[in-house]
Structure 1
Amino acid sequence: MRPDDIACSIVIPTLNAADLIGEQLEALADQPGAPTFEVLVSDNGSTDDLAGVVERYSEVLPGLRRVDASRGRGVSVARNVGVEAAASDRVLICDADDRVSRGWVRAMHAALDSAPLVSGPVETTELSGRSAGWVPIAERTEGLFEVWGHSYGIGANLGLRRSVWSEVGGFAEDYPAGAEEIDFAWRAADRGHLFTYVPDALVHYRIRTDLRGVLRQQYNSGRGTATLYSRFKPESVVPKSVLRRTHHELMLLRQFPLRGGPDARRRWLTLTAFEAGKLVEARRLGIRAP
């Protein structure tokens, strides 16, 4: 495949996902009506058989290749390396453990005709089962994600013009594993580049099915939220005083679901992990938690 023939590039930031990425690669191989595209598996330093899996799938995805993104650890590093290596100015980003829908490439590529940044919906039940109800994400989203009144595209379903990525300065690589795509969206908005919602570009999003993994993910998301606040300090967000924070945490403890079954308790634990992440990172940064 010649670089001039590539209409868009798909970047998959990946770390030790040899057992999961095949489902995503199969979904990308089944994209009727899609323009010619390449797939870059941006390897963040995998120690499993990721290279072997990529080689096997190269027969059904002629534009598939693995790029070395091991210069640093983190999803932002892998995204940045993949975008930099892309042959096209139109770049789509998805995750190794999810599955894009049929028509995802076509819809996202078309949306980039008139928008610099695009993102579509995610649904959480098909790949996750019961654990979809443990996290504060709608089972099927109906618009862009929002935080503190500002919208953004989730990193697992994102499209951009590489020229915009370059102008913004790429994804911040010093974030905890959470909120880095929000940071990117806000820096892009400061330069006049806003996200456009693409309703037909659905991604089946996988929530971790082990509770420990979900709690770790939510804890890191809380850390990322505190980092986000420390960098932007939006006027609409008033950090809680010591008294208000103490009251908030006591109310959270009182809301422990003695009834409602194990799933209700898991939902409470994920919320608690998120709040704990915010508090720990805010203290490390020397700020009041938002």
Structure 2
Amino acid sequence: MSVIEGRSRERWHETVVIVPVLNGAATVEEQLRALLGQRRDSDWCVVVADNGSSDGTQEVVRELALSDERLRLLDVSDRRGAAAARNLAVLRTSSEYVLFCDSDDVVGVDWIPQMRGALSRSAIVAGRLDGTRLNPVRRQRWRHIPQTDGLQHAAAPEGLMSASAQNLGIRRDLFASLRGFDERYVTYEDSDLCVRAQLAGESIAFVPGAVVHLRVRGTLTSGLRQAYRYGRGRRTLATAYGSGDPGRERFWSRVLRTVRPLLGAAKVSVLDREGAASALWFAVFTWGCEFGSVFPGATSRGDGRVGSRKQA
């Protein structure tokens, strides 16, 4: 059973910010304070879509909601996964404009009004990602930050663009017509949504003034897990749009690209430990993506979009 908590239960605002979370007690408060500190010159609220947290996340959100009626807590543990959490949150709200960001990142100043303004002109919009505020320099060297100065190129089909759900906005009517995020994806569900929007005739507007400061995974283990999931999502996307098998097609050539930086790191590791760590992290992340791409179970069958009869 879903539960919406907060002072204003009956009325939904013009704009809703949906923040999916699973065991995000360590980071969600910083994100929520950044959201609630936004300008109040438009009609908006924030919904935390909790996907079954067991680490005290709900208590953190409830405590903040006591002092701000614009914050709501929504139990979306019915179906697991970020795509499902976002879909369920949209279904259980009614705001015209829907914004998405993540619980472990931090929105920049005026993010909500920037995205809301852009949605008055375009049906789907994406803002800029920044990795300099929340990550030490060493970690910034480990990971390429996408979407810093424009949209990303979709993994498939060729020629289309995509954007991360870490900084994404969409009008409710378009989201409904697309039947939301496809819940078959472990990752890349945001790319798939963007692709389907473009195939339906929409263009994604980039909003450089709408900044989200993202947090990079800090360990090799967490980075490897994330990369593996990225690889699985990339394969699902390529398969869905008939672009071939991205894993088997270029697996060895891409993995071999990591050898040179690793060899270079071995030579300078004593003098440049940060450089060596960066090279190692780059290699591990690449390997994770590639192995995820060739994982036999990466692509599931059926239609995982909202409203599908095949959906679990």
Q: Percent identity?
A: 33
Q: CA deviation at 1:5?
A: 6.8
Q: CA deviation at 1:193?
A: 1.9
Distance 2:47 2:299 in 1: 35
Stretch deviating more after TM superposition (57-66 or 251-260):
251-260
**Which of 74, 87, 103 pairs up with 1:80?**
87
After TM superposition, the score normalised by the length of structure 1 is: 0.88
Q: 1:169 to 1:263 in 2, by over 3 A?
A: same
Distance 1:240 1:224 in 2: 11
Distance 2:65 2:257 in 1: 53
Contact map agreement 1:8 1:38 (CA 8 A) in 2:
yes
Q: 1:5 to 1:43 in 2, by over 3 A?
A: closer
Deviation per CA, 1:87-135: give whole Å up to 9, x if none.
3110111111110011000000011101000110011121122323222
Q: CA deviation at 1:170?
A: 0.6
1:36 counterpart = 2:43? yes
**Which of 136, 144, 159 pairs up with 2:144?**
136
Distance 2:215 2:253 in 1: 34
Deviation per CA, 1:25-52: give whole Å up to 9, x if none.
1101111254121111101111121221
**Which of 186, 189, 199 pairs up with 1:190?**
199
In the TM superposition, what are the counterparts of 1:254-273 in structure 2 within 5 Å? Answer: 255-256=261-262, 257-258=265-266, 259=268, 260-273=275-288
Q: 1:158 to 1:254 in 2, by over 3 A?
A: same
1:275 counterpart = 2:296? no
Counterpart of 2:69? Answer: 62
Q: CA deviation at 1:185?
A: 0.8
Contact map agreement 1:154 1:181 (CA 8 A) in 2:
yes
Contact map agreement 2:236 2:298 (CA 8 A) in 1:
no
Q: 1:173 to 1:247 in 2, by over 3 A?
A: closer
Counterpart of 2:242? Answer: 233
Distance 1:74 1:30 in 2: 28
Contact map agreement 2:134 2:213 (CA 8 A) in 1:
yes
2:189 maps to amino acid:
E
Distance 1:5 1:250 in 2: 52
Q: CA deviation at 1:254?
A: 5.3
Contact map agreement 2:153 2:160 (CA 8 A) in 1:
yes
Q: Secondary structure at the match of 1:164?
A: helix
Counterpart of 1:121? Answer: 128
Q: How many equivalent residue pairs? A: 280
**Which of 12, 31, 56 pairs up with 1:49?**
56
**Which of 173, 183, 192 pairs up with 1:173?**
183
Contact map agreement 1:34 1:105 (CA 8 A) in 2:
no
1:157 counterpart = 2:164? no
Distance 1:76 1:284 in 2: 16
Q: Secondary structure at the match of 2:208?
A: coil
Distance 1:241 1:219 in 2: 15
Q: CA deviation at 1:230?
A: 0.6
**Which of 90, 106, 109 pairs up with 1:99?**
106
Q: Secondary structure at the match of 2:98?
A: strand
Q: CA deviation at 1:271?
A: 1.1
| CA RMSD across the alignment | 2.3
Distance 1:118 1:71 in 2: 28
Segments of 4+ in structure 1 off by > 6 A?
none
Task: Give the gaps of 5 or more residues in structure 2.
Answer: 1-7, 269-274, 301-312
Distance 1:195 1:3 in 2: 32
Contact map agreement 2:220 2:281 (CA 8 A) in 1:
yes
Distance 2:258 2:57 in 1: 42
